[in-house]
Amino acid sequence: MPTARTFVALTLPPAARASVVDLRRALPPAPRGLRWAAASQLHLTLAFLGDVDAGEGLAAVRAASRSAAAAHAPFDADLRGLGAFPHAGRARVVWVGWGAGAGAVTALHATLAHALARPADRRPFSPHVTLARARAPLDLRSWLASAPAWASPTWRVEALEVMTSELTREGAIHTLVERCPLAGGG
């Protein structure tokens, strides 16, 4: 049975993506070894599911995502600040943080995890959008400290998206499978 590399996400509207691109331009030159994420694919991952059966498995993910979305109302969001995982002294991932709406995103993540019947993550959920990755750990403390203060425009989060991802030599290609509107439940 074919499988699909699957995740559930909140994608960014064009104005927020453009703001992230503006932030990247305002940063000091990127340290060697840091690879930027494609602006067109910036998103917040609510659940990464890996390879899922493209038939019944993907249908179950779609149903769970619709259920989780139906339990939450749309909310306002913005992005702000920079950070790194696991920490700035040994960074593998550079991220922009979720500002307004972080509580709503965290609640949506928990509802989705329950609907997907996924075990709790070892690490607490930290709403963010990946900006760049490093193949080997980098010390980014001074680079991050020199970053300008920044926040994206505010937008309304109205849906979560079930996505598939195909890995290619040029990078991942994300494909929308289903857009699940946040329907109100609160």
Question: Model confidence over 86-120: pLDDT tens digits?
Answer: 999 999 999 999 999 999 999 999 999 999 987 66
Number of Cβ atoms within 10 Å of the Cβ of 40: 10
Please, where are the H alpha helices in 28-146? 56-70, 102-115, 141-145
Q: What domains does the chain contain, in order, with CATH numbers?
A: 3-181 (3.90.1140.10)
The residues carrying an active-site annotation are 43, 128
- Enter the pTM of the model: 0.90
Q: State the Cα–Cα distance between residues 59 and 32, nearest whole angstrom.
A: 42
Burial class (CB in 10 A: 0-12, 13-18, 19+), 2: exposed
Number of Cβ atoms within 10 Å of the Cβ of 153: 11
**Digit-coded pLDDT (tens) for 127-179:** 999 999 998 999 999 999 999 899 999 999 999 999 998 877 777 788 899 99
Two tokens, residue 41: 């694919």
